[in-house]
Structure 1
Amino acid sequence: MASSSNQASLAALEAMEMEDTAFDYSKRSQWLRAAVLGANDGLVSTASLMMGVGAVKQDIKAMILTGFAGLVAGACSMAIGEFVSVYSQLDIEVAQMKRDKKEGDQNAEEKESLPNPLQAAAASAFAFSVGAMVPLLAASFIRDYRVRVGAVVAAASLALVVFGWLGAALGKAPVVRSGIRVLVGGWLAMAITFGLTKLIASSGL
């Protein structure tokens, strides 16, 4: 009887460990997927800004300054948005805890699992900055205008494929289809920004 009881206890512990592992993996994959999407946003928005300015300004300084401004502004915007969103979630969860009037160890465990607004904001800003650095680095040391624009498009395209693949893999979606969708979306964003900026500049506005 003792041995069957021990086996049952061990089985229960193993089941709990498997549940915890699955939960941790799921939670981790969500954070990773959010980071990939944030990096993709940084890549597309910064590359598009640089292409837009490159449509009317061919000097390297204008493109680099535009890309850097886009990186800083985008990272700040992402961080503030994430901070406000997660802080609102934190307020809701704390209010729910107070309503439930839970005390002791159970309450302490809940406090440990509460979202951290500063951590979320920093992670969001970092992910955006990583993506934005791709077109910036691609254009930083190339003086020739056409080669520089080509380098930005090539680097952005490669990064879009990588980010699309990672996002699909973490979200358990079809990898090829998702990668193509992300790549085409990025190309469209850069092409539209380039074309519209060129059109507005040529019209004398």
Structure 2
Amino acid sequence: MTLSRRHTERHRTDRIGWLRAAVLGANDGIVSTASLLVGVAAASASHSSILVTGVAALVAGAMSMAAGEYVSVHSQADTEQADLARERAELERNPAAERRELAAIYVGRGLEPGLAQPVAEQLMAHDALGAHARDELGISKTLSARPIQAALASAASFAVGAALPLAVTALAPERFLIPWVSGMSLAFLALLGAVAARVGGASVLIGAWRVTFWGALAMAITAGVGALFGAVI
């Protein structure tokens, strides 16, 4: 009996690359920019100075996120390529030993030795390097490093995240700037955490609480430092 239609499933791990970079960027954009704005406001800076500080934070932060994410993920990609090159050389030098190694991995995962051996042989006949990359090195297309994608996602999401408290700063009355920026930024963080958790299949409440707590802590500490230095200077 043959299947007339292939059954396909979509898994959330397909989103892990861009989701991680986007959530990290947006979270950093909101937290760092809001904390900076609140800290400068607590130091009794003028409204125009606070806005200039926010714009500078948005641009510098987005570029920093892009560069940092690109370098970090590219390092991961370089390591993966180096491991694949070494595995390719080992397959060419001693394919029998690599076949036994792959079979031993399958035995460790629960297959009978008599079944693990032909499975290893068939998979290596189909794609030897792919089988070892996936089952020995843990490298797959879904989870492989994509530096450009990660850099662009981080920069764009940071800019969007930073623009939110910056927009609140531009619209809020100067005398109520700190409570407005703090309150709205925490609301943005809660929404971000909830959406990220929903997309990733995790608990919405836990996701929202986690980012909100750390965002509130960052803003409180920065505001305290800003007030302290503002009083001294």
Q: What TM-score do the two structures reach when normalised by structure 2?
A: 0.69
Shift of 1:199: 1.2
- Cα deviation, 1:36-91, whole Å, max 9, x if unaligned, reads 23201110100000001101234221111111111122212211111111111221
User: Are 2:221 and 1:192 equivalent residues in the alignment?
Assistant: yes
SS in 2 for 1:140: helix
1:41 and 2:13 are equivalent in the alignment? no
Q: Distance in 2 between matches of 1:181 and 1:200?
A: 29
Kindly state the Cα deviation for residue 171 of structure 1 after the two structures are TM-superposed: 3.8
Answer with 1 or 2: which has the greater Rg: 2
Distance, in Å, in 2 between the alignment partners of 1:153 and 1:140 is 14
Q: 1:119 maps to what in 2?
A: 149
CA contact (8 A) 1:165 1:176 kept: yes
Calculate the aligned-residue CA RMSD, in Å: 2.8
- Compared CA separation, residues 89 and 116, structure 1 to 2 (3 A): same
How many Å apart are 1:180 and its aligned residue? 2.4
**2:59 is the alignment partner of 1:67:** no
Distance in 2, Cα, partners of 1:67 & 1:141: 13
Using the TM superposition, name which of 79-88 and 39-48 deviates more: 79-88
Matches within 5 A, 1:97-112: 97-99=84-86, 100=88
Unaligned runs of 5+ in 1: none
**What residue number does 2:38 align with?**
51
Structure 1 residues 182, 119: CA separation in 2 closer, same or farther (over 3 Å shift)? closer
Return the structure number with greater relative CO, CA threshold 8 A, min gap 6: 2
1:183, CA displacement in angstroms?
1.7
Which residues of structure 2 form unaligned runs of 5+? 92-125, 134-140
Counterpart residue number, 2:192: 163
- Percent of residue pairs bearing the same amino acid type: 41
Equivalence map 1:21-36=2 (5 Å): 21-22=10-11, 25-36=12-23
Count residues in correspondence: 187
Q: Distance in 1 between matches of 2:230 and 2:45?
A: 13
In the aligned structure 2, how far is the partner of 1:194 from the partner of 1:37?
A: 22
The alpha-carbon distance between structure 1 residues 182 and 198, as it changes in their structure 2 partners (threshold 3 A), is: same
Residue in 1 that maps onto 2:183 = 154
| Residue in structure 1 matched with residue 67 of structure 2 by the alignment | 80
Structure 2 CA distance, aligned partners of 1:150 and 1:58? 15
Could you tell me how far apart the structure 2 residues matched to 1:150 and 1:198 are? 14
8 Å CA contact 1:58–1:145 kept in 2: the answer is no
Find the counterpart in structure 1 of residue 102 from structure 2: none
